[in-house]
Amino acid sequence: MPLVHISLRSGKPETYRQAIFDGLYRAMRETFNVPEDDQFMTITQHDGADFRYGASYLGIARSDDLVLIQISAMNTRTVEQKKALYGRIAALLGENPGIRPEDLFVNLIEGARENWSLGNGLAQYA
């Protein structure tokens, strides 16, 4: 049950943004065993003045096409699954919409199963 927030600079067309959604969902299905129709994602676009990043932090040459991806998920995945997720995201988003791997910044936030309510005021996974 991942919850995904994506941030990028303004100006990308709808097809580009939809390709990000599609690639992320596919990567999570393939590596995190996310169920069919488990898609809860948002994209926020920012003007240049409201989007700051380290262009060369850790020796990675980032550009203004940087995409920040934050995934909140339950703390049930192995390190191997996490590494597979990061690699699959880079591969799929590299194919479509053509994002360079240097321009993908992924942050995974994990929490306990009881920290999720998916509706109706219930803790479905507790």
3-state secondary structure of 90: helix
C-alpha–C-alpha distance, residues 34 and 88, integer Å: 14
Helix residue spans in the chain (DSSP H): 14-32, 79-95
- Classify residue 38 by its DSSP letter: -
Lookup result for tokens 């999720």? 116
3-state secondary structure of 108: strand
The residues carrying an active-site annotation are: 2
Residue 126 has which token pair? 């507790």
